[in-house]
Amino acid sequence: MNIPERAAQLLSLEGKVAMVTGAASGIGRGIALALAGMGSVVAVLDIDEQGGIETVSKISERGDRAVFIRCDVRSSHDCAEAATKTVERFGKINVLCNNAGIVIRKTVLELQEDEWDLVLDVTLKSVYRLSREVIPHMIRGGGGSIINTGSGWSLKGGSRAAAYCTAKAGVLNLTRAMAIDHGKDNIRVNCVCPGDVDTPMLKSECVQLGDDPRRFTEDAANRPIHRVGTPSDVANAVLFLASDMANWITGAHLLVDGGGLA
């Protein structure tokens, strides 16, 4: 077997079943497309039904398999139902990508308590909720891979983003804790930490801050690799962590930020 064939074999997700939250748009959609492109069946989870169905359509157009499951990651019931429906339909879950998140650009003084709760509920607590439902299925199946979406702000602070920075820092350390707890179950848990990526969320930040979109994008691209990231940039990192190419990597975080924190 030559090197390209060996690499393709290691990256292949043929026969795997993946679940991706926040997959109706942006990074989540990019992850779903990448995993499906390497052979995985994908359960597309989101509260946005139209966007989720569009993601499934894009996957199906290429001849790959996916299903949309409406899931509000703030709801323990929805998370349990999503796991049950996926296993009932496909028999297992091999890969879980906890990607759902929300950003509110405010300081501690500006944040209302319900806004703080919303950001932490969607961005951090959802990782706990979905993992709690999926890990027992992975254990029964002999193992799996969990990839959580952190942020550059998992590692450093940012202005007017107190709740988001807190949530993403929590995602990173929760990743480490889960990796320690479930290594014995042959479950790898890692975290991908994107920088600024061209998504609807990045555009919403610009609106929230009342900034000029062109200047905002120029500032976001001010890094060693002079451009804003794309969903596929992050998705390729997730694909690596989900695959057998990373089968001795757990408890790690992978910065995907064009060198922004270098």
Q: What is the pLDDT along the chain (262 residues), one digit of tens a residue?
A: 676 788 889 999 999 999 999 999 999 999 999 999 999 999 999 999 999 999 999 999 999 999 999 999 999 999 999 999 999 999 999 999 999 999 999 999 999 999 999 999 999 999 999 999 999 999 999 999 999 999 999 999 999 999 999 999 999 999 999 999 999 999 999 999 999 999 988 888 878 988 887 777 777 788 999 999 999 999 999 999 999 999 999 999 999 999 999 9
- Among all chains, which residue has been given the structure tokens 């999503």? 82
Report yes or no on 201 lying in a domain. Answer: yes
Residue 209 dihedral angles phi and psi, to the nearest 5°: -85, -5
Whether 185 is covered by a domain: the verdict is yes
Residue from 62, 61, 44, 40 nearest 53 by CA: 44
46: enclosing H helix or E strand: strand 41-46
DSSP 152: G
Of residues 156, 134, 153, the one with CA closest to residue 145? 134
Domain that includes residue 30, residue range: 3-253
Over the Cα atoms of the chain, what is R_g? 18
Alpha helices by DSSP H, listed for the chain, are 3-11, 26-37, 49-61, 76-90, 113-120, 126-140, 162-182, 200-208, 213-220, 231-242
Structure confidence at residue 1 (pLDDT):
64
Residue 259 in domain: no
Look up the CATH number of the domain holding residue 166. Answer: 3.40.50.720
Bridge partner residues of 147 (DSSP): 97, 190
Listing DSSP states for 65-101 in one string gives -EEEEE--TT-HHHHHHHHHHHHHHHS---EEEE---
Residues 6+ apart with CB under 8 A from 207: none
pLDDT number for residue 109: 98
When divided into structural domains, the chain yields a total of 1
**The token pair that represents 255 in the structure block:** 């910065």
Residue 46 in any domain: the answer is yes
Q: Which of 25, 80, 76, 66 is nearest to 48 (CA)?
A: 25
* 129 inside domain: yes
What six digits make up the tokens of 136? 């027992």
Is 64 within a domain?
yes
260 inside domain: no
Amino acid occupying residue 142: G
Q: Which residues are catalytic?
A: 164
State how far the Cα of 223 lies from the Cα of 233, in Å rounded to an integer: 15
13 within a domain of the structure (yes/no)? yes
Whole-angstrom CA distances from 137 to 86, 93, 149 are: 10, 7, 21
Chain length of the chain: 262
